[in-house]
Structure 1
Amino acid sequence: MIKIRNNMEYTFKKDFGFFKANDVLTWDEDLNAFTMDVKEDNGFRSAMIDANTAEDLYEEGLLTKVKPNIDKISATVKFIDSLLKQYEDDYEEVMQKYKEGKIQPCVKVEAETVYFNLTKVLNKVREELTNE
């Protein structure tokens, strides 16, 4: 039995029945299957394959596993970390100015809301990228 990752993909090495070389099967966790949707000039092709069948096709040499681009993921995580640091620094600066009476309470509340929401989203994206 294969271990399925959320972003796992297979690519067809060559034409095989309905499938064409370079067609990509992507794991769909909601469907618990690999799916493929291809728009073509003259129509549309769509397929769904269970994990065991995909693994059998892989073992037969018809599919290759697509490796995630680790360098791009790593660079994205570093970028997210730099944004989190910048947002934290900006937030602390606003809070200091508020304590000194240099800004209005509404500006403080807005800064808190923006900081909380951006941090929450960035941390979730970072978690998705690093927990494969």
Structure 2
Amino acid sequence: MARTSIRTKLAAVAATGMLALGTGVLAAAPAEAAAAAWCGVSGGKLYCGNDAPVDMYRNASYSAPWVDTLKTNPSVFNCWTKNEGTTWYGAYGDVTGRFGFVPASVVWTSSAFDSNPGAYGMNHC
């Protein structure tokens, strides 16, 4: 089965009108990465631009062990959780393929989205 690129999935999300534009999902992104800054939730997953490369942690905590690196931008985030006063997004890494968490500060969502991703249809971890 052929793999679908994240950019193709983002285009599909946009075409179905599921991008959360106008609902505060987008955040300011660096100008050179503006095209990758489109964020949308589809099927409970967040498709969004992000800083890269970034370290991924085993648990939603800065003190958790490193498990992988997220090198792709944009990326697919499977779920979200909160810990240490921060929203964390879970995804599969690009080096070892292991599941890990990144803080919301590296994902190009708005603070409104980060305060309750579940309200936008994203899966909770």
Structures share fold, TM-score greater than 0.5: no
TM-score (norm 2): 0.26
TM-score (norm 1): 0.25
Bigger strand fraction = 2
